[in-house]
Amino acid sequence: MGVLKYLKPEDKEFYEKNGFIKLSGIFSEAEMEEISQEYNELFERKTRENLEGLESAWSGDRVKQEAGFIDYTVKAIHNLQMHSSVFTRVIMNSKLLDAMEDVLGTPDVLLHHTKAHIKPPENGAPYLMHQDYPYFPFKNHTMVAVFLHLDDTTPENGGLAVYPGSHKLGPLADKGITDEQGEQYHWVDQNKWPLKGATPISAKKGEVIVFSYLLLHGSYLNLSDRARRMFLLQLRAADDEPTRACHQSPAQNLVLRGRNVHRSANMATRFAD
């Protein structure tokens, strides 16, 4: 293990054992206020343009059962750094990247994608227990999710839940579905890994949860009077390789820190926004 820049040795040990860690003090109050305002403005603008296109709740009878058969919803926007420089500054935050070096064990850190979810009050959709691995599998499994909380978050307003240490199980069997529109939803055996059996992870506004893409995680139904807003960044070590071509997005493989010595000097590739 090299010299840690942000995490303490016991923090690193906790992450390696449990597959997740909570970080505080990454973003200042002023930064969080700027992020929150820009986030709200972006969602308000895109909602006016195309509300239906923002829908990101999962389909399927198992999800409906978890939601108690209410009319649930989640709104999402992808690739926020392509919409505003505020979010470019988020993914380039020096304290955050210090922590990511420690988590990944490398100074060479690449972007995979970003997105934002809003679970509205009273009917914010749950997410069944799942791994992110099936959506974008990599050879060495260095991919991590970075959840920046824009609101105080608890189980009551749709917070995160995990099975600590489940990242050590490796990729698990996919029990998800493909809907009539061809959209794929990936989750694990809910009888073996129910949401109600997971460990809830509450967080304050500005706190960050980092977890392996192999960690079993999900989130609760939001029936409270409080929204749950989050910004998600997914990144990986530069020397990791995808095992299949999928989940292409603008600015993917942007070098957030260090170098990508594995990239060839090829011409630009066009991606759909």
> Based on the structure, what is the number of domains in the chain?
1
Residue 1 lies in a domain: no
Residue 133 lies in a domain: yes
Residue 266 lies in a domain: no
Helix (H, G, I), strand (E, B) or coil at 55: strand
Structure token digits, residue 262: 């594995």
Name the residue range of residue 227's domain. 9-257
Sequence letter at residue 205: K
Residue 265 lies in a domain: no
**Alpha-carbon distances of 185 from 58, 74, 136, 175, 182, rounded to whole Å:** 7, 14, 13, 9, 10
HEC assignment per residue over 89-141: HHHCCHHHHHHHHHHHCCCCEEEEEEEEEEECCCCECCEEEECCHHHCCECCC
Residue 122 lies in a domain: yes
Residue 13 lies in a domain: yes
Q: What's the CA gap between 192 and 188, in Å, rounded?
A: 8
Residue 4 lies in a domain: no
Residue 251 lies in a domain: yes
| Domain CATH for 69 | 2.60.120.620
Q: What's the CA gap between 100 and 97, in Å, rounded?
A: 5
What is the full per-residue pLDDT of the chain (273 aa) written as tens digits? Answer: 568 999 999 999 999 999 999 999 999 999 999 999 999 999 999 999 988 899 999 999 999 999 999 999 999 999 999 999 999 999 999 999 999 999 999 999 999 999 999 999 999 999 999 999 999 999 999 999 999 999 999 999 999 999 999 999 999 999 999 988 888 999 999 999 999 999 999 999 999 999 999 999 999 999 999 999 999 999 999 999 999 988 889 999 999 999 999 888 876 655 544
CA 96-46-128 angle, 5° bins: 60
